[in-house]
Structures are given as structure tokens and as C-alpha cells.
Amino acid sequence: MKTEFKPIHCPRRVWPGVLILVILLACATSRAESVVFSVHNLSVSGPGTNRATAEMDVCIFCHTSHRSAGATPLWNHNSSSVSNYTVYSSPTLDAIGLTIPQPNGASRLCLSCHDGTVALGSVSSRATPITLRNGVTTMPAGPSNLGTDLSGDHPISFVFDHDLMNKDSQLKDPASLTGKVRLDGSGRMQCTACHNAHDNQFGNFLVMDNTGSAICLSCHSPETWPTSVHALSSAPSPKIVATKGGVNSLAKTQPKTTTVSAMGCASCHSNHKAGARQHLMKFESPEDNCLSCHDGTVTKKNLSADLKKNSAHSTAFSGREHDSTEDPVNPKSRHAVCADCHNSHAANSTPAAAPHASGALAGVSGVTALGGLIKNIEMEYELCFRCHGDSVQRGPAVVTRQFDQTNKRLAFSTANQSFHPVVAPGRNHNVPSLIAPWKTTSLTYCTDCHNSDTGPNAGGQGPNGPHGSRFAPMLERQLLTTDSTPESPANYALCYKCHSRASILGDQSWKGHSRHILRPGKQAACTTCHDSHGVSGNPNLINFNTLYVSAPPGQIISYSNTGPGRDNCTLTCHDKNHDSNLKY
């Protein structure tokens, strides 16, 4: 006897309710894991703005049981015909010999929609593309449309193996990727390492919560990042940083503006459509990645204001010149950018005393007092010597000297007869003008003189450090270098910071001070006789300014010290000849 199975017919009005019930029951245990409730549901029931006019099948836009395009897993969406994407490149990758290939594997499948060249409804199982609402065909312009220029996107489709890890000390062992961040079956880094197209519970289809850059740190391991001020900061990130690039690194349920610590790498970097492509920085001008927070909106101090002063380590003309693989002493193009002096992955709040470098300068390279390159500076002056020492582009002297020495490393050499105590305590111990707590055994920073004129060391509320000053050459306080200038506490404020004005004008150090400094119409500036860095052949920092000092007829300029407070000079100054018989 043949059994006949008859279909059960329900009223039409019942089916939509049943269908919805089935979907809800299927997703009830883990709604977030279902593509149904994500913008990847392009069917008529999808929650996004890009959805079909009538198509009810959710999976069909990517998968099919029959007539697949041939790619795994049962791929249905027609592939892009682009064969020459512009892929990511950088000097860092060049240095380790890694060339990023054309997209392959799962990344190629993602790009069949996300490069914006193929209609969203173009599938191999249908003779004609599925129609979407509002005339939408390809991926609309915006964060999701990556285009065919991927040079500003995290590199994909390359093999991540032990060989690559051994070439880059800041990469983790790929064998450790046993969690949700995974390579493909061929050991390649694909879009699917960070994104799960079926699960949007963490926002942007991320495979896991990326608070504190947990995804990034699955592969990347900057040595000093965990103890850096950026990794630990509880300061709120400005909205422009949290939303720049249209892709928020945090869960979609969290506010767009969050802390610097929670943003992690995303405070400065974008995985897609980066503004500065080579380092995947958010903003096109690398310095804007720093100044978007260090302009007083997040930090208490406004560095941006100092960088715009007339004497500054200006980043305006050279902000894109820095390269982590460049020669640190003699780069192709001389520049001064934030990354030259600060390592954002290492900088911390550890204080220090002269001459040691503070935590703000942690993880940057420099040049030692003996001229050797050091990867991580220990002394503050080692950073300064990198550009103001042996560099062939260090620039001319501010004051024209009898002994011209623009190499500051050599100027501060302890082999010199005199030098300011930057590298070691000074050689001259008859300095009665020193103001407490300064002593002849004290050490000083370069930044005790070269600093912000509105910073705390100058009695102001501005930032600390040699970012900029209204007093050239980037001096914390005014120091005039022209003769015939009336003496005053303001005109020579920098010298009077450490040396007592009363002592100097009282001739306690040298009995000719007041006569030379105060003589009407012929007042000598401090810099006319003294070189504040160091002098190889003269004691007492004597190195005459040849704009005002010349040699007498038939002689040469000379100076000798004959005892405490006693000196001999041979020179012509203000049309008056001095010779060694004229003693002070």
C-alpha cells in the first residue's frame, strides 16, 4: 500500500509569523552570533540601509548550495575582476624583505563586495543581480568601501611564519595564535584574522573585544608598550580620535569617546583607510596624530602652541620625513618631528635627575658623549647629540666665534678647558655667582637652557621641553647677544637664572664685569666673551664673538687666566686695543 504524504497548508497570514518565530528560536541562544541581525544581512529583513527590495534569503549574498562560484565555502558572490590592487608597503617591510602580495584566499572573497567594483546583489546562482533598495548597486562610498587602493589598509594575504617573526622583534610567535585571531589554512594573514563576517557582537565584525587593542596585541608585541603612558592613560580620548576613519576599535555598545588606554593602538593607528599610509596613522599629517591629544584637549599642556612659536622644533615643514629605518644621525632630509624625540610605544612618566633621561624620552636612540650610537638613550644629552653633534646638517652657529665649534658633542667634551656641566661637572671651581641649589659639582640638562618660555621652569603654565620658545635659539628665557644693549634682569634673564646678577655686577667673579657690562654706549653682552657650551682651548668659557672682537694689528686674539679673577687679553674691542700687558 502506497502512503501518500500531503503538505500541510497554512493560511498565508500565518507563514510570516512562523518564519520569524523560527529565526528567533534559532538565534535565541546567541543572537550576536547570527548574521541575521547584522548589516551583512542584505535581504529584505536586514537591519542596515543596504538591503534587497524583495529577496528573503539571508545567506544567498555570499553562499549557495548549488551553482557556487567555485570558492570555499560554497561561495556565491561574483568575484572582482581587479587584478592589480595597490597594496600596503613601507620602509619597515622593505627592511625585513617582506613584499605584500595581491589579495588572495578569504580576503579576495571579502573584496568581492568591499572593493566597490561588483554589485552587492551579483551572485552566481542567479541569472540577474538581486535588486537592492534606493538604486544601490555596488558598495556605497564610506568606511566599508575600501576601493582598490589598499595602501592605507593593514597588509593582508602574506605568510606570517617564524621566519618573519625572527626578522621583526616586535612580532609574536604565530604559533601563539590559537584563540579567535587566526591565520588561514596556509598560514596567511587574511581579513578573517580580525573579522568574523557572521558575528558582529563586538562591532565592525571583529573576532573579539578589541578594548586595549587586544586583537592588535595578538600579533604585535612592542616591547615597552604595556608600561607606556599611552597604554595606561585613563584620560578620555577626543571624539575626533575615537571616530577618525569611521571605524571604532571598541564594541558597538560602548560610547565613541573613551579612554586612551581603552583605545590603545587605535588612538593613533587605523587598520583601514589610514591618513598617513606607511605607518597606518589616522591623520595624514603624522604630527596631527600627536597633537589631536597634545593640544590641551586631552593633555593639560598645549604643545601645539609651542611648536608654532618663532623658534621651535617645527614639524610644519618636515612632518612626513621621519622613517624608523633611516640613519638617525644623517637622514636623507633633516627634520624635527615628534617621533624623532619621543617613542609613543615606550614613553612613560618616570622622573629623572640630570643628566639622566626621563621617561618621556624612553625608547629613542641617540649618540653618546664619545660619539657612539645608542639604541635607547640613558642621558638626555645623548638625544640632543644625535642632531646637534656629528650630524653634517647641524647648521651654523648662532654667534660667530673665535673658535667655531658647531658640534655640541665636542663643545661639551670633558677634554676641553671649560664647558657647562652637561656631560660632567665643570672644571672651573671659582664660580661665586652660582645661585643655590647650583654648585660647582652640579650637573645640568640641555633643557635647563633650551626649553619653553612659558613652561614650568620659566614660571609658566605651558609644557616642559624644547618644543618652542619666543626666544631664539629656543631659549627658556631671554638672552640678548648684541652689544650696546642696556643691562637688565630681562635682557640677560637666562644667565641670571643660575648666576647672581648682584654677584656679577659686583665683580665677585672678575673685576672687569661691571665695567664691560654697564659702560654706556659700549655695553658688552654676556655672549661677546662667553660661549655657553664649551671651549677647547680657553678656561672660563671664553670664546669671543668676532662680530665685536678682532685681533690688534699684527697680533692674534688671545686670552689667558693668571689666577682667580685675574686674566690677560690681547684683542681689539669697540676700537680699543687690549694687549697682554693690560691685566684685569
Model pLDDT, residue 325: 81
Residue 243 is given by DSSP the state: H
Q: What pLDDT score was predicted for residue 320?
A: 59
CA distance 581 to 188: 83
Distance CA 569, CA 426 (A): 23
Nearest-angstrom CA–CA distance, 280 and 283: 9
How far, in Å, are 83, 140, 245, 321 from residue 143 at the CA level?
22, 9, 7, 28
Q: Can you tell me the distance from the alpha carbon of 227 to that of 214, in angstroms, rounded to the nearest whole number? A: 15
pLDDT of amino acid 456: 96
Residue 478: closest CA among 449, 516, 435, 507: 449
Q: Tell me: cis bond preceding 473? Omega within 30 of 0 counts.
A: yes
pLDDT at position 31, please?
54
- Determine the pLDDT at residue 335: 85
Q: Please report, as a single letter, which amino acid is at residue 547.
A: L
Please report which helix (H) or strand (E) contains residue 373, including its range: strand 373-374
- E strands present in 375-516: 418-419, 468-469
Question: Locate cell 595578538: which residue?
Answer: 218
pLDDT score, position 314? 81
CB neighbour list of residue 157: distance below 8 Å, 6 or more residues apart:
100, 101, 102, 103, 104, 105, 107, 108, 188, 189, 190
Q: Chain centroid to CA 112: how far?
A: 35
Note if the pTM is more than 0.85.
yes
Strand partners for 419 = 534
How does 309-334 read in b/e, with b if 16+ C-beta sit within 10 Å?
Answer: bebbbbbeebbbbbbeeeebbebeee
By the 10 Å C-beta count (0-12 exposed, 13-18 middle, 19+ buried), 546 is classed as: middle
Give the C-alpha separation, 302 to 165, whole Å: 39
Per-residue pLDDT of the chain (584 residues; tens, 9 = 90+): 444 434 434 344 434 433 433 444 344 345 556 899 999 999 999 999 999 999 999 999 999 988 776 778 899 999 999 999 999 999 889 999 999 999 999 999 999 999 999 999 999 999 999 999 999 999 999 999 999 999 999 999 999 999 999 999 999 999 999 889 999 999 999 999 999 999 999 999 999 999 999 999 999 999 899 999 999 999 998 888 877 754 444 444 444 558 999 999 999 999 999 998 888 999 988 788 999 999 998 898 999 999 999 999 987 655 556 677 889 999 888 888 899 999 999 999 999 999 999 999 999 999 999 999 999 999 999 999 999 999 998 888 999 999 999 999 999 999 999 999 999 999 888 899 999 999 999 999 999 999 999 999 999 999 999 999 999 999 999 999 999 999 999 999 999 999 999 999 999 989 899 999 999 888 999 999 999 999 999 999 999 999 999 999 889 999 998 877 678 899 998 878 887 655 54
The rounded distance, in Å, linking the Cα atoms of 84 and 93 is 19
* Residues contacting 31, CB < 8 A, separation 6+: 37
